[in-house]
Chain A
Amino acid sequence: MSIGSSAALRALIASRRAMDVIGHNLANQNTPGYSRQLALLATTTPVQGNHLLRFGTGVEVAAVRSSVNEALLARIRSELALAGRSQAQNDMFDQVETLFADLSENGLATKLQGFFDGATEAATSPEDPVLRQNLLASASDLALSFRLRSSGLKELRTKSLLDAQGVVAEANQLLQQVAGLNSKIKTEEAPGVTANDLRDQRAQAVEELAVLIGAQSTVIGDGTVTVAVNGVALVAGGAANGVKVTLDNQGDMKVTTLTGKLDLKPNAGRLGGIIHMVDQDLKNRLTELDRLAKNLVLATNRVHAKGVPASGPFTSLSSSFAIDLSQVTDLQNTALENSGLPFAIKDGQLSIAISNLASGDVERFTIDVDAESMSVGGFIAALDAVPHLSAFLDGAGKLQIKAATGFGFDFSARLDGQPVEGNSFGASNAIVAGESTYPLALTAGSTFTLTANGGAAQTVTFNTTDFVDINSATADEVATAINAQATGVIASVIDQKLVIQSTATGPSSSIQITDGTGSPAAALQLALSATGTSTPVTVSVTGSSANAAGQNYTFKAVGDGQIGVTTGLGVEVYDASGALLTTLNVGEGYEPGTSLEVVEGVSVSFSAGTISGSAQQFFGLEVPGETDTSDILAAFGLNAFFTGDDSGTIAINSVLEGKPELLSGSAGGGPGDGENFLALAAVGDKPLDELDDVSLAGFYNLYAADLGATAAGTKASLDSSTLVMLTLEQQRANVSGVNPDEELLDLERMQQLYDASVKFIQVLRELDDTLLQL
């Protein structure tokens, strides 16, 4: 065969091969991941002729090359990983936003406002059971809304694990596929050819892995690729290392290789998106929702605990929260701060109002609470020591408080309407009071004589044995010493003052004291003479005052005589520092029973009767402020509105369910008193320390705004990724896509080559025929 014939034959073959490649391109123009292939034509090796002539031998298909831009592919894989993450987050945010439905009537903000508005409405007619029930219903609705969102978030986290496991299963198949393709490519390319189609399939699989788990790949010299996530190789050569998803002790997702040795910590791809949502976003949102719910419970219970139900003071009360007796076994040695109660106890004071249910008289007792040094048992003992109260922990660890028969208790800040204690002011008994402050120094063996009710003079001697330290005598010790030696009188300590009162009443009741050796009466600053009266005085206090909250006042009689009659009769009012605030005229011109304002909002009135300044008659008045600065009521859930301590457990106190009359809407005890409902209504707008000086309503607005902003950011990120991907895909299509027009033109060209080659062969045959005819 001549060189020409050979060249023609090679051209025929080359053009057919090229047309095959074109046909392959046309066939795969819509195949995902397919990259257009090009048949590269090249001249064959020339032959050496005579006279240094070299003759070409034709053409051949030297190679079939894919049109691929590796840098572009790498960029696409990166973007796919980001898009996968954004898509997963976006899908989940859609569900979270649907769950919260903040812009609907069922939004938590609306429910929260509805609850506080319910309190506002209840305050308009506190005695109305319908309004009370409405408040309970709105509270129940609010609690349910919290729980639904909490369970929804938790369910999303649970479902996300299934999603993640599905993603991982799909990824594991692809990893196997990539490893298999690696092996095939290595084998097929061993002779020096390029396995274009296999490489396309592998690239497609790697891209899917980028979407799923954010995997990136690196081409190795032998044609294989390494697939890795965060530096952890999952495919190396023909070997694949699968991955798995598990939950750790914190409920967080953990993605490791199947052996469990390597932690991938994926932050891209759908898996990265899911993990970010589950371990951070959803978790944080649940945490913040819990924080809101917990502080709603705390703030509401703080107020409700200090109210009084429509039925009046409590005769018994059980805490809503219990001490875990399996954990706290030694109550006497377990500090309050370690009690395990859901809310923290602070150092502060608890003020308890004990009411005489028959007379309405209120006596107030204060317990100092030190969360660190006071034990649980110590607190219960302190409660139990309050007169007319008993307190204990029941078998379930709940604090039980009971009042003695005829008494009630509450934690309200209402004033003691009848503030005189122990007959210290205007009583029918003769009383003498001492002005001294304690402790004070008394002389050992000092004496005074005391005559009670016209009886015989009695000598009272103060011996060292009567005192722990007679140089530092306490009022209680002095009173005990007097009671041990004198009859016809009772010495007691009232508001840190010594008071000696006759056991008799009326005008025949009298006390005369004559100071003796060592002048103890002078040291005690005792009044020396008093007579009883048939016209005792009743002192009444009304009102409440935020301005005077937490203040103590002492009222002292000035002058002796009859209320409303005696000229110059007055009552001096001192503050806690001993400064004289005012002198009330209760003598001539004062109408008995008329209220006289002591401080803004607090008034006192005196009935007709006789008082004595010379006997140093006095009484104290405490204007309660915050009755629980320790939060111990909220910690135990005493008279709680809500129970639970997070968004998943919040609920209205079961004791209140169906019993709206037990709602503590009153601050003073009257059924038509809605002051505590008003205080409840104000809770929503009040900045809370626990929420960094943000109100409950404000906190949720921020919460909803943050959810919206984050969701919008994710959506924007997804939109951006989608656009970028569109551009990148178009760039890839520009490089690797199949254009049928191009292919058809190439086909035409190859067909022409083919035709020309055939023609050339025909010409050669005609030449041969002509030669043979010679």
Chain B
Amino acid sequence: MGIRVTPSSMFDRAKFDLAASFTRLARVQNQISSGKRLQFVSDDTSDASRALDLRRTMLATLKSRDAVGAARTAADQQASLLQDISGLIIDARARAQEAAKGSNSPSDLAAIANEIDSILDQVLALGNQRAEGRYVFAGSKVNTVPFVATRSFGSITSISYHGDDASRRVRLGPNDLKSIELSGKEAFFRFNREPTIVTSNTGLDSVLGASDTMTGSAKVTLAHTQTVFGDGVVATTGDSVSGLKPGTSSANDTILGPSGEHSITVVSSPSGGGTLQLDGGTAVEFTGTETNLAVTSVSGDVVHVDVTTLTAGFNGNVALTGNGEIALDGGTPQALTFASDVSLQSADGRVVHVDTSAVFREGEALLTFGGTETIFDTLIQLRDEIRGANGFGDQGQVERIQARAGALDKAHTLLLTGASDLGARSQGFERLENSLDLISLSLKTRESELSDTDLVEASLELSESEAAYQSALASAARLNRPTLLNYL
């Protein structure tokens, strides 16, 4: 018996085929209209799972890119501020140079000092700048004003840091974190100690290679306490050979130094008169009755001499010893030993080593600890130096201003280092941003390949499906074929 085919089975088959064609057509149409090849994971589990994973990675990448973008903005903000401050420091440097000319009147210097003061305020304002509600240089204490000024009569006398050392980090991916910015401490207080510089005309010097621990700058005061003539055996300090002894104003002598550092040349006549010269300076005449004869050297040092006991007819050089004391920043003075390495200690336990072996005159010395001074301190001290309010006398002001100007150079370098560091970070972030952009684009493309509709392919499939559906319809329409009845 052959295969029997009944109209019912043909209709059923046609119904099935029509439904299948229509389903396919509807699916393709839906893919085109929605733009999505995959509506549900079950449409293609493998591709859908990969698409899900890709999308998750893409979202995370996009967020990382945003975070990196924010990090770049933050680094740029800090770099920009440091650049601005750097510009102010250049201005301050120019003002310092002007002040160091030595030909300025007091009013000129006051004007320059006021300009420095204004720059200091501007630097402080920039250091306390806020961006997006946070203090830019406060570390993690973003709600705390990082630099707090102490003022006296409106002028800043010191600035303290109230932020912390923390630096924000950005998440670039699993287990991949990167620091974004500098804390205020790093930006303004970054130390890179350099050899100690002594600015003074006293003969004081630094000790090369010593482990100084003081920071910023310090003032050393060298004070004369006693002049010893020759062997100093007469009345404690008088010379037994020449008979010279300290004058009544000997306390005002300015010389310092071990025996022989200074000397007085005596030319006397047997009758009692004569001349005295200090270190080859101008000869001062005496009659023999002077108890307080001031003798000045070429360099301006002064010794007061009592010639009443001068050995008549004595001619020759009398060695002088200038005893004195040395004190750090107004601290307790200690006796000068003229040693080549004297350790001076500040009240907070910091140490500086100085060479006193060549000290020859009393006076003040500015010790600058390069690379350890904050930008604020440098500006404050420069201003005060120009104002003459730094505790130093007038002598050596120009040199000290120049020394402060040198410190400004260091500050400028520090700022540029910070800005450069931030710039490098910013560039790194930018490269990373671009890279993450590319990665996310690649992920998006891949995810799109998996889940989005390929319109060309889908259009072709739509055409095919339409043709198939039309054929199925045409075929079904012909099912009502003639039967035997038509011919009976």
Residues of A within 8 A of B (CB): 29-30, 93, 97-98, 102-103, 107, 109-110, 112-114, 116-117, 120-121, 123-128, 535, 542, 562-565, 588-592, 607-609, 666, 668, 670-675, 678, 681-682, 685-686, 697, 701, 704-705, 707-712, 715, 722, 726, 729-730, 733-735, 737-742, 744-745, 748
Collect the chain B residues with CB atoms within 8 Å of residue A685's CB: 174
B40 is an interface residue with CB less than 8 A from chain A: yes
Give 14 A-B pairs besides A701-B56, A744-B488 with Cβ atoms closer than 8 angstroms: A103-B39, A109-B52, A113-B59, A126-B140, A591-B213, A592-B348, A592-B350, A668-B166, A670-B141, A672-B141, A672-B166, A707-B42, A712-B41, A722-B16
B299 is an interface residue with CB less than 8 A from chain A: no
Collect the chain A residues with CB atoms within 8 Å of residue B215's CB: 591
Q: Fill in one digit per residue for B50-84: 1 if any A CB lies within 8 Å of its CB, else 0.
A: 01110110011001101100110010000000000
- Knowing A542-B165, A701-B56, say if A740 contacts B142 (CB, 8 Å): no
Q: Which listed residue (A103, A591, A672) contacts B139, Cβ 8 A?
A: A672
**Docked pose: A729 CA to B74 CA in angstroms:** 73
**Docked pose: A15 CA to B174 CA in angstroms:** 89
| Contact assessment for A740 and B168 in the assembled complex, using a CB-CB cutoff below 8 Å | no
**Docked pose: A127 CA to B8 CA in angstroms:** 75
B7 is an interface residue with CB less than 8 A from chain A: yes
Interface-side segment among B130-138, B329-337, B464-472: B130-138
Our count of residue pairs bridging A and B at CB distance below 8 angstroms stands at 222
**Docked pose: A163 CA to B49 CA in angstroms:** 31
Collect the chain A residues with CB atoms within 8 Å of residue B213's CB: 564, 589-592
Cβ distance A455 to chain B, nearest Cβ, rounded Å: 30
Collect the chain B residues with CB atoms within 8 Å of residue A110's CB: 55-56, 59
- Knowing A113-B59, A733-B8, say if A708 contacts B171 (CB, 8 Å): no
Cβ distance B454 to chain A, nearest Cβ, rounded Å: 16
**Docked pose: A682 CA to B53 CA in angstroms:** 16
Collect the chain B residues with CB atoms within 8 Å of residue A98's CB: 40
Interface residues of B in 463-488 (CB under 8 A from A): 483-485, 488
| Contact assessment for B485 and A740 in the assembled complex, using a CB-CB cutoff below 8 Å | yes
Collect the chain B residues with CB atoms within 8 Å of residue A124's CB: 66-67, 70-71, 74, 168, 170, 180
B177 is an interface residue with CB less than 8 A from chain A: yes
| Contact assessment for A744 and B485 in the assembled complex, using a CB-CB cutoff below 8 Å | yes
**Docked pose: A30 CA to B48 CA in angstroms:** 44
B456 is an interface residue with CB less than 8 A from chain A: no
Cβ distance A152 to chain B, nearest Cβ, rounded Å: 15
Collect the chain B residues with CB atoms within 8 Å of residue A589's CB: 211, 213
Collect the chain A residues with CB atoms within 8 Å of residue B175's CB: 682
B45 is an interface residue with CB less than 8 A from chain A: yes
| Contact assessment for B41 and A741 in the assembled complex, using a CB-CB cutoff below 8 Å | no
B235 is an interface residue with CB less than 8 A from chain A: no
Collect the chain A residues with CB atoms within 8 Å of residue B52's CB: 102-103, 107, 109, 701, 704-705
**Docked pose: A771 CA to B35 CA in angstroms:** 94
Collect the chain B residues with CB atoms within 8 Å of residue A675's CB: 169
Q: Fill in one digit per residue for B8-40: 1 if any A CB lies within 8 Å of its CB, else 0.
A: 110011001000000000000000000010111
| Contact assessment for B42 and A715 in the assembled complex, using a CB-CB cutoff below 8 Å | yes
Collect the chain B residues with CB atoms within 8 Å of residue A733's CB: 4-6, 8-9, 12
Cβ distance B154 to chain A, nearest Cβ, rounded Å: 30
B349 is an interface residue with CB less than 8 A from chain A: yes
| Contact assessment for A97 and B42 in the assembled complex, using a CB-CB cutoff below 8 Å | yes
Q: Which listed residue (B5, B16, B177, B484) contacts A678, Cβ 8 A?
A: B177
Cβ distance A744 to chain B, nearest Cβ, rounded Å: 4
Collect the chain B residues with CB atoms within 8 Å of residue A102's CB: 40-41, 48, 52
Q: Which listed residue (B6, B66, B349) contacts A738, Cβ 8 A?
A: B6
- Knowing A97-B40, A120-B67, A708-B42, say if A562 contacts B349 (CB, 8 Å): yes
| Contact assessment for A128 and B63 in the assembled complex, using a CB-CB cutoff below 8 Å | no
Can you spell out 7 A-B residue pairs with CB atoms less than 8 angstroms apart? A107-B52, A113-B56, A124-B70, A126-B140, A708-B42, A715-B42, A733-B6
| Contact assessment for B349 and A609 in the assembled complex, using a CB-CB cutoff below 8 Å | yes
B430 is an interface residue with CB less than 8 A from chain A: no
- Knowing A708-B42, A744-B488, say if A123 contacts B171 (CB, 8 Å): yes
Chief secondary structure at chain B's binding surface = mixed
- Knowing A127-B133, A678-B171, say if A117 contacts B349 (CB, 8 Å): no
- Knowing A737-B6, A740-B7, say if A673 contacts B42 (CB, 8 Å): no
| Contact assessment for B48 and A103 in the assembled complex, using a CB-CB cutoff below 8 Å | yes
Collect the chain B residues with CB atoms within 8 Å of residue A125's CB: 70, 132-134
Cβ distance B433 to chain A, nearest Cβ, rounded Å: 13
B451 is an interface residue with CB less than 8 A from chain A: yes
Cβ distance B131 to chain A, nearest Cβ, rounded Å: 10
| Contact assessment for B56 and A682 in the assembled complex, using a CB-CB cutoff below 8 Å | no
**Docked pose: A744 CA to B487 CA in angstroms:** 11
Closest to B488 in A: A744
- Knowing A107-B52, A681-B171, say if A730 contacts B13 (CB, 8 Å): yes
| Contact assessment for B143 and A671 in the assembled complex, using a CB-CB cutoff below 8 Å | yes
Collect the chain B residues with CB atoms within 8 Å of residue A701's CB: 49, 52-53, 56
**Docked pose: A738 CA to B13 CA in angstroms:** 16
**Docked pose: A583 CA to B166 CA in angstroms:** 26
Residues of B within 8 A of A (CB): 3-9, 12-13, 16, 36, 38-45, 48-49, 51-53, 55-56, 59-60, 63-64, 66-67, 70-71, 74, 132-134, 138-143, 164-166, 168-171, 174-175, 177, 180, 211, 213, 215, 343, 345, 348-351, 451, 483-485, 488
Collect the chain A residues with CB atoms within 8 Å of residue B8's CB: 29-30, 733, 737-738
- Knowing A608-B350, A708-B49, say if A123 contacts B169 (CB, 8 Å): yes
Cβ distance B142 to chain A, nearest Cβ, rounded Å: 3
**Docked pose: A674 CA to B171 CA in angstroms:** 10
Cβ distance B388 to chain A, nearest Cβ, rounded Å: 30
Collect the chain B residues with CB atoms within 8 Å of residue A674's CB: 168-169
Cβ distance A87 to chain B, nearest Cβ, rounded Å: 14
Closest to A686 in B: B174
| Contact assessment for A670 and B164 in the assembled complex, using a CB-CB cutoff below 8 Å | yes
Q: Which listed residue (B36, B48, B168) contacts A672, Cβ 8 A?
A: B168
| Contact assessment for A673 and B140 in the assembled complex, using a CB-CB cutoff below 8 Å | yes
| Contact assessment for B66 and A121 in the assembled complex, using a CB-CB cutoff below 8 Å | yes
Collect the chain A residues with CB atoms within 8 Å of residue B166's CB: 668, 670, 672-673
Cβ distance B278 to chain A, nearest Cβ, rounded Å: 39
**Docked pose: A139 CA to B39 CA in angstroms:** 26
Closest to A709 in B: B45
| Contact assessment for A726 and B48 in the assembled complex, using a CB-CB cutoff below 8 Å | no
**Docked pose: A545 CA to B377 CA in angstroms:** 33
Cβ distance A444 to chain B, nearest Cβ, rounded Å: 47
Cβ distance B447 to chain A, nearest Cβ, rounded Å: 10
Cβ distance B293 to chain A, nearest Cβ, rounded Å: 45
Most B Cβ at <10 Å: residue of A116, A125, A735:
A125
**Docked pose: A607 CA to B36 CA in angstroms:** 67
Cβ distance A447 to chain B, nearest Cβ, rounded Å: 40
| Contact assessment for B349 and A565 in the assembled complex, using a CB-CB cutoff below 8 Å | yes
**Docked pose: A396 CA to B435 CA in angstroms:** 54
Collect the chain A residues with CB atoms within 8 Å of residue B343's CB: 565
Collect the chain B residues with CB atoms within 8 Å of residue A707's CB: 41-42
- Knowing A102-B52, A608-B349, say if A734 contacts B9 (CB, 8 Å): yes
Most A Cβ at <10 Å: residue of B4, B5, B488:
B4
Cβ distance B429 to chain A, nearest Cβ, rounded Å: 11
| Contact assessment for A671 and B142 in the assembled complex, using a CB-CB cutoff below 8 Å | yes
- Knowing A678-B177, A739-B6, say if A103 contacts B38 (CB, 8 Å): yes
**Docked pose: A720 CA to B45 CA in angstroms:** 18
Collect the chain A residues with CB atoms within 8 Å of residue B165's CB: 542
| Contact assessment for A678 and B169 in the assembled complex, using a CB-CB cutoff below 8 Å | yes
Closest to A722 in B: B16
**Docked pose: A588 CA to B3 CA in angstroms:** 111
Cβ distance B53 to chain A, nearest Cβ, rounded Å: 6
Cβ distance A145 to chain B, nearest Cβ, rounded Å: 15
**Docked pose: A77 CA to B13 CA in angstroms:** 19
**Docked pose: A120 CA to B173 CA in angstroms:** 10
**Docked pose: A97 CA to B43 CA in angstroms:** 10
Most A Cβ at <10 Å: residue of B9, B41, B177:
B41
Collect the chain A residues with CB atoms within 8 Å of residue B132's CB: 125, 128
